[in-house]
Structure 1
């Protein structure tokens, strides 16, 4: 099909459904008056929506015949308006919201009422991400580049049978392009845009032995100067009357290289082996934050002369840029990834056997100024550093035998070892008047270290029974066992790591920050704990083909989110109590959903609708506990609890239409009715409930979310074609972190409406491309993350302002 008839399968929002209702009558009135007109009209009758193939049931099937709430994307769907990263596709999936973890380039994905809002390294995200069937173990690396991606599938709702580790919200599966064994080809792209953005991307495919051996090399480099300014102002500070502002320099620039090398070997017709090496080197700036502390004397930082600056928040970020005291801010947010993967497929008689093996090492060093202030001291600077090593093995069998019953069965194993340390400069305690016998808090870092060793085992099976031409039944189950062992030490000054205070042993002598996590060398105060869980999960589904173009289905499924330890345990310097060293229990989700999928108007329109009801139990939530440290000061520590139970009801609509030659309209609509049934905890372990947020709204659960976009293709004959694309995206206000000062101070993501556009030219052979892109054309300010730190301060990060970019590309 011509590119102008490709469809993103995304859908119509409510404002476009009226057009669908009027189309049949309009088409019926357009009867041709002559045989010539009939002949001329015939090609238009062939216009239709492409069939979209998905693997949501671990076997290939037509999206419209798959009884799963899934949205699918291919490179052709990104042609008119390519996403910057994986988070950009959320606007085109109902009830899928993509934000950032406050102060980090980490994904805060949310789906159907559950989402990730913290950077805790041991926390299992409720929305999982898989890259070529490998489970991404860290939200810090989930915002994947979509260049050279073959397809993306977003499965909504609990995933407790077929995909990787369990999730309660959903899973995003990303598949990169495999080497071709026959075609020698390549592609290059160069981009320049606002904020000093420049990017170069390239791929090359080389068949080394025809039909037997091929290699594909992919590389991408992204660089920018950032869209924040170091312009935060402070003062007057009580006691010193100090005041000042940042130097106005640019902050938040990107500096990211990622590459893949793939080798595909097909020794015989029915055996295929794919080997892949992955490299990521992210040396981007530390993520800037903006101090958004209210001007209210209930906030400690306001009383000290540090609160939100008036005017454009992007002009008032703040960072201290300290390199001493283990902070290393000039290194930026450094993330290094080395991955090695293999996928083996054997199409045996009547079954396909698959083995997926992967090993991935990720080193992260993430220094930040969490207050968004520049001085006169480091109020709260910290460097979070972790080393994660992950091994995964999965074996899977998919049947292809004769008869109405087919099945998928397999086993899954993952081993994940994490070492974590954070160095913190708590200069605000100097302003509180807390004194030390050996200097100031501003010049003496404190370190907190812990580690976790985890293993997950699972066995699963899923059966599909085509009862007759109309009715299909699906049943699946999974048994999972997870073991986790944790060890940690409460936060101490570097001089006290050995157990006795040595004033000569400073941060200079410690060396690398992770050295403080050597519990054999520094065993004093180390607390250990371990736990294991066994959970069955399942799904049952029935679908009925009402007509050739209309399918209805209903599904019940259970998923769980693994129990988790807390990497913040002991941050106050208080000796770790036994209760604080314990993990949360698994979070459970029971989901009921019903939907329809239909094509109509001679395959020129598509509408998919889903209604669902989910009950969440033992929801894992972070809450702030107020404690007294060894200096007699009240301090706060974030602790995690199974604090909540919630009920979420919702509606999801996706649709597409080709109203006329060359025009595509598509959109989505998501609605959530989400509330807590219970949300309470005993944060200080005294046997009494001291926090009850049962009347608060669920965080990361926008009530409404919709998008509408249209692409018109102008055919230039031998000059190629031009695609005009416009898109409008809306997401309602949604909560982020709860305040224990007052509900009015709960941090929230503001509702936003973004307008984007793109113009793309392709030559007649499809070899050359020039594309101009505009994002956030109304230059709206909106926060992408926001955090409340007890009664001390609040800080936020913001989305990019108006952006213009130009990309030129060539295929050969």
Structure 2
């Protein structure tokens, strides 16, 4: 405990000097307005982090709440862009904006890239858990706000939240009047965008409908010099959502029924691969003969039914069914050669039901309930590995499996006011997880890319080296996995006379056990590994100061992190999913918004993170003391809103911002190379960098004219890297982020 206490105090000490280097979002539509006698005061941001409405300043959790207007101001149009607004958050992916990997306070999927794996950052839309990571790469439109909860959320949000949770809250009918908006824009790379929403109230206070849509289409943002080749990183997105709200007789029953659908058909992310074909190219150029398409779709429907049983007791049921597909064609060598071309195909489906009771008394606020979830993924991947079988003989591997996961849970949490100023929170959740790996099949084949395949040898099931087991079309590999977990939360929160909230908490989170979706060269690598677990200790404060001009939150934390799930490639090559036995994470962060005058508001955030493995061996190489992947030591975001010519809602607002990230590694190896592998892991990192964004918005009457520039200084940044040299390829796999984008839009409200 002495070590834990020292780490927390050190973290808090790092946070408090950052009073002017922190940021909170602007009030969302559900916020209370400032009192007339408090000029410059901000409204209270209302969040639902504890499954009930509360002011963000009264919740003893580290939360970033980003309103819909702030998302627009900061140019955050996709979930992959959220790192520009949240401290200690990283977002990366080998597939561009598709299937993003979220990293919060150093906890992420590390070097795991298979679609069957659950994110350790739980992602929700309107309190509905999204199991498929492909569904996480959503465009952001017509949102009320985004809540990012840092730290384990294993009590109220459940499994797979060892690092935290992200909840996207969409706008729903208010049941008052009619309104809407339409927006159209154009930017470089011949990019057209359009979005809009319309809300109509059929019966005042009782029946309303809101429909929203989003569209983006643009040319590739990376130049492909290969003659006739597609440019990578293009956009082609279409999404829609409709929400019907019914409140019969303006009574105790409130029903929200939502349906959504969307698809994406952009080109794959650019790849920097074989060095010989990088000669003479700029950072934002490639020479690739087979730029593929990232074709994804997602759809679903949900019903949220709340019934007020009494003034103090409410029953809520959330039922959801969701599905989707991904078909990602990825040339993974970054060259005009056919060295490694992959077709990732998966079909997803899920169903979930949560029922909970909320009690709100004078001294006790409590919530308890039950949860059931089932998700499936059926995968058919093809790995074309050039002349894998010999000179002039093309071939590769085909892989098929079906994964089914079921989760059952009961949970309860209560906030008890020990005194008027001191509140004790106790919570617990017990989860039963059951998983199945079915119809596992993989084989080595001869054949060209996109052409017929001639199976040569079964590799799954086959425990030996690829090519040593005769082809058997009926052979299948099945495996079962199960684990149970108790997670919980304890916190004490004290509110001072000036409104400052000081809290200390302990949280336990876990990420369920997992199958190795990367096992296709041998069934020896297909296993079910132990769950991840985090014991998290945190202290923090929140409050308003200087006549409510400054809103500040800060936290220091220490994690005891065990069994992170990482990939280990061994001779064969065979990929194993293994547990990293021990890791240690500690750090601090602060956010603030300071209203300097009616015309100027400054926002800023800062984070410090120390995340290292205490015990880890991969490829017979000891990696103790290495940094966790996607965990920069320092992050900072800052900006200001300058309002000119303000007259009511009319006026011009200029909003520059900058986001800084120190060096981060993409691999648990950092820059260590395993003996005898040919690795060059020093390539798998990104040095410190900053990105500058700028927006300007002129509002006059019902019209808003906006101009924007993202990555204004055209920073050259790698977003992801993967070791392929260790698997015998003559290069590593690196994904560059997109270059500078700019444009404008016109929005009309009605």
TM-score normalised over the length of structure 2: 0.88
**Structure 2 counterpart of 1:257, from 213, 217, 238:** 238
1:642 aligns with 2:579: yes
1:469 aligns with 2:417: no
Compute the displacement of 1:533 (Å).
0.4
468 and 319 in structure 1: CA distance in 2 versus 1, 3 angstrom threshold: farther
Q: How big is the shift at 1:89?
A: 2.8
- The one of 160, 166, 179 equivalent to 2:160 is 166
The 3 A distance-change label for structure 1 pair 76 and 229 is closer
Q: 1:164 to 1:220 in 2, by over 3 A?
A: farther
The match for 2:196 is: 202
**1:666 equivalent in structure 2:** 603
2:511 is aligned, of 561, 565, 568, to: 561
**1:120-139 to 2 correspondence within 5 Å?**
120-139=114-133
Shift of 1:619: 1.4
Residues 658 and 690 of structure 2 are in contact (CA less than 8 Å); yes or no, is this contact kept in structure 1? yes
Per-residue CA deviation, residues 434-460 of structure 1 (Å, 9 max, x unaligned), is 26xxx721xx45311111111011110
Q: Is the 8 A contact 1:494 1:506 kept in 2?
A: no
2:55 alignment counterpart: 62
RMSD, matched Cα: 2.7
Post-superposition shift, 1:736? 0.9
Secondary structure of the residue aligned to 2:712 is coil
Report the Cα offset of residue 87 of structure 1. Answer: 2.9
d(CA) in 2 for partners of 1:89, 1:475: 31
Within the candidate set 439, 463, 480, 1:530 is matched to 480
Structure 2 equivalent of residue 805 of structure 1: 743
Give the structure 2 partner of residue 315 of structure 1. 285
Structure 1 residue 125, shift from structure 2 partner: 0.7
Q: Is the 8 A contact 1:256 1:283 kept in 2?
A: yes
> Is the partner of 1:140 in helix, strand or coil?
helix
What's the counterpart of residue 170 of structure 2?
176
The aligned counterpart of 1:28 is none
Counterpart selection for 2:567 from 619, 622, 630: 622
Shift of 1:490: 5.0
For residues 535-554 of structure 1, the aligned pairs below 5 Å read 535-554=485-504
Whole-angstrom distance in 1 between the partners of 2:174 and 2:44: 22
User: Per-residue deviation at 1:808?
Assistant: 0.6
Q: 132-141 or 357-366: which moved more?
A: 132-141
Counterpart of 2:712 (choices 764, 772, 777) is: 777
Distance (whole Å) between structure 2 residues aligned to residue 523 and residue 799 of structure 1? 42
Alignment match, 1:324: none
Q: 2:665 aligns with which of 732, 735, 745?
A: 735
Q: Distance in 1 between matches of 2:479 and 2:330?
A: 30
Q: 1:495 Cα deviation (Å)?
A: 7.8
1:86 aligns with 2:79: yes
1:101 alignment partner in structure 2: 94
Out of 679, 693, 698, the residue aligned to residue 761 of structure 1 is: 698
Equivalent residue for 1:696, pick from 605, 620, 626:
626
Conserved 8 A contact 1:620-1:644:
no
Distance across 1 between alignment mates of 2:356 and 2:698? 43
For 1:15 and 1:246, how far apart are their aligned partners in 2? 55
Paired residue secondary structure (2:349) = strand
Q: SS where residue 334 of structure 1 aligns?
A: strand
The one of 268, 276, 298 equivalent to 1:337 is: 298
Residue from 374, 393, 413 that aligns with 1:440? 393
* C-alpha separation in 1, matches of 2:240 and 2:300: 11
Give the distance between the partners of 1:718 and 1:121, measured in 2 at CA: 49
Contact 1:228 1:317 in 2 (8 A): no
Q: Does 1:714 align with 2:714?
A: no
> What is the Cα deviation at residue 424 of structure 1?
1.8
Aligned to 1:507, the other structure's residue is in SS state: coil
Counterpart of 1:548 in 2: which secondary structure?
A: coil
- Cα gap change, 1:426/1:408 in structure 2, threshold over 3 Å: closer, same or farther? same
* Secondary structure of 2:516's aligned partner: coil
Partner Cα distance (1:98, 1:556) in 2: 26
Tell me, yes or no, if structure 1 residue 411 matches structure 2 residue 411.
no
Give the C-alpha shift of residue 78 in structure 1: 3.5
Q: Deviation string for 1:224-253 (max 9, x for gaps)?
A: 10111223xxxxxxxxxxxxx555653221
Shift of 1:718: 7.7
3-state SS of paired residue (2:131): coil
Matches within 5 A, 1:330-479: 332-349=293-310, 350-375=312-337, 378-401=338-361, 403-429=362-388, 434=390, 440-441=393-394, 444=395, 446-479=397-430
Tell me how far apart the structure 2 counterparts of residues 413 and 266 of structure 1 sit (CA, whole Å). 26
User: 1:301 maps to which residue?
Assistant: none
Structure 1 residues 668 and 213: alpha-carbon distance in aligned structure 2, compared to 1, 3 A threshold = same
C-alpha separation between the residues in 2 aligned to 1:490 and 1:84? 39
**What secondary structure does 2:84 align onto?**
helix
- Measure, in 2, the Cα distance between the counterparts of 1:693 and 1:553: 35
Q: Distance in 1 between matches of 2:352 and 2:658?
A: 40
CA distance in 1, matches of 2:85, 2:17: 16
Q: Return the offset for 1:691.
A: 3.2
Larger Rg computed on CA atoms: 1
The count of aligned residue pairs is: 697
Residue 44 (structure 1) shift? 9.3
What secondary structure is seen at the aligned counterpart in 1 of 2:399? strand
- Determine the C-alpha separation between the residues in 2 that align with 1:369 and 1:506: 16
Contact 1:351–1:398 (CA under 8 A) maintained in structure 2 = yes
SS at match of 2:528: coil
CA distance in 2, matches of 1:249, 1:568: 28
**1:724 corresponding residue in structure 2:** 654
Cα pair distance change 1:52/1:716, threshold 3 Å? closer
In the superposition, relative to structure 1, how do residues 346 and 732 fare at CA in structure 2: closer, same or farther (>3 Å)? same
Counterpart Cα distance in 2 of 1:601 and 1:274:
41
Listed as ranges, the gaps of 5+ residues in structure 1 are 1-11, 21-41, 232-244, 295-305, 322-328, 497-502, 511-520, 628-635, 684-689
Q: Hey, what does 1:31 align to over in structure 2? A: none
The correspondence of residues 210-221 of structure 1 with structure 2, limited to 5 A, is 210-221=204-215
> What aligned pairs does 1:285-304 form with structure 2 within 5 A after superposition?
285-291=267-273, 293=274
Q: What is the alpha-carbon distance in structure 1 between the residues aligned to residue 646 and residue 510 of structure 2?
A: 53
